[in-house]
Structure 1
Amino acid sequence: MHRPGMWFALPAAALLVIFFAYPLAVSLLQSFFKTSGGVSTFVGFEQYARMFRDPLVIKSLGNALLILVVQVPIMIALAVGLAYLLNQAWLRFRSGFRLITFLPAITTLVAYSVVFRVIMTTDGGMLNQFLALFGAGPIDWLNNEWWARVAVIASITWRWTGYNMVIILAGLQSIPAELYEAARIDGAGRWQTFWHVVVPQLRPVLIFTTVTSTIGALQLFDENFILTGGGPNNATLTPVLYLYKIGFQQFDFGYASALAWMLVILTGIIAVIQFRIMREKP
C-alpha cells in the first residue's frame, strides 16, 4: 500500500463523500420518511406507492416519453446529416461551419432558454413578427398546450444538435478510408455507401448519443422551467420539474426524494439496456 498516494487521493475522496455519497444516502433514507408539523415519521414504501396514484407523475413521465419519441429521433437525424455534410472534403470553410454548429452547445441553459422565451413571446415576439411577414397570425407559443410542447422541443433540438453532431463527426472520422474505397469499387452509390458502410460503423456512437439523449429527456428541467414553468395545464411538466415543485415549493422532501430515486432507477434500467445492446454478440 502506497501511503503517499493515499494522502494525495484523500482530498478528492473526501469531496466525493461529502458532496455525493452523503447526500445520496440521506435522500434515500429521507424517501422512507414523511414530515408533518416538523415531525418525521417512518412510512416505509408509502412514498413510492404514492407515485403510482399521483396523476402528475404519470403526466410528467408521459411528457418525457413524448420528447423522447419525437425530439430525440429528429435531433439525432439532424446531427447525423450535419456531421456527414461537415465531413465532406469538398466543403469549404468546414472548420467555421463546425464551430457555428457547435456554438449552441456551449451556451448556458438559462441564457438560451430566456432568449427563446423572448423570441416566442406572443405579443411582439421575433418569431411571430417573422410569421406576420407571410400573413400568418400570431401563435401563442408558450400558453397553448400543443405549441408549448413544440417550443420546448425546438429549443432542446437547437441546443443539443451540435453537441451530438460533434460526437458523430468524431465517429465518422474514425471510419477507415478503405471501406469507402471498397464500396466505390463495388459500385455502391452515395446512399448505399451511407446506409451499408457509414451507419453500421456508427452504430456504437449512435447508441451512445441516443441513450444519453434519452437520459437527458428524463432529466429535463431548465428549458421547461424557464419557458413554460411546466404549463399550460402541465403539458410540459417533466419528472425533474415536478420533483422541484414538490421539494422546493411544497417542501415535501420525503416524496421528492422518492421521485428522485424513481428517476435513478429508470436511468439505471436505461444504462443496463445500453450495455446489453452495445455488447458484442458471439
Structure 2
Amino acid sequence: MIDRPPVMIVRACLREGRGGSPTAVLDEVPLSDDERCRVPVLAGTSHAVFVSVRGPAVSLRFFTAEGELPACGHGTVAALAFLAERAGDTEYRTTVRTAGRTFAGRAVREKALFRVAFTSGPVELREPTAAECGLVLPALGVTPHALAPGTRVASVGRARLLVPVATRSTLAALAPDFEQLGAACDRFGLLGCYVYSAPARSGRIAARMFAPSIGVPEDIANANSTACLAADLAGRGVTGIAVDMGDSLGSPATITATARPGATVQVGGTAEVTGMILPS
C-alpha cells in the first residue's frame, strides 16, 4: 500500500456504552480499490469507510476485504461520529452521498459518545422464491419448525434475505455452513442473511447478520438490514424497533430504527471515536 494513511477506529452502534462494531474511518486518499480492501484487514475491522468532504456535503465509500459496497449502515454511523468529533460541535448535521444516493445525517454529542441517525433509502420488499429458501435456509441451519412467518427479500442498495425465527435461543444456536451459504447467496445475488427473533411488545429484537460473500461471515452490527426490517414491520403495525446484535461475537451492539408505512426509515445508533492508528 502506498503511504499508509492514518486510520481512526470508531465503535459504531454501542449498547449502553459497550461493545459496538469497530470500523476503520479515514479521509479520502489516492488508493486503488485493492489497496482500499487492505485497509480493514490492516486495521483489524470488518469494514473501512473513506470520507470526502465536499462543501456542505460528505461523500462516503465503503470497503470490506472482498470489495466495495454501495452502502453500509454502521459505516455511515461511524463516519458521522468521526466528522462530528472533528467538527467539535454539540450537534453536527450534513448531507451524505453514497453510491447513487443522497440523504440527511446527524450526530449529537453526549459526553464522550455520539448519538447518530440518518435517513435510509427506499426499501424494496418482496416474497422470496422457493428456490431461494430451498438453498439459503438449510445453509443457515434454519429448520422449518424454527422458521417464523414473514421471510422477505429486502433491498436498500443490495438485496438480502430477512429470516424470522421463533425465539432468541434458536437465533443464538445457529451455526451456518458459511461455504454453502456464500455459494447460495452468490447464486441469487444476495448480500447475505439477516436472521431475527420475533419482536417483543417493546419492539426489542435480537438479530444476526451472515454475509460470507462479502468477506464478513458474521457482522457485529448491520444498520441497513435493520432499516429493511423496520420498513417490513411498519406494514404490520410496528413503528419502532431496537435490535440487539453482536452477542455471539462478544461485542454487544444495538441499532434503532423507526418507520411508518410508505415513509422513509430513520436508523442509527450510538458511537465512540476510540483512537487513531498511525502509519508505521
* TM-score, normalization by structure 2: 0.24
- Greater relative contact order (CA < 8 Å, ≥ 6 in sequence): 1
Structure having the higher Rg: 1
Higher helix share: 1
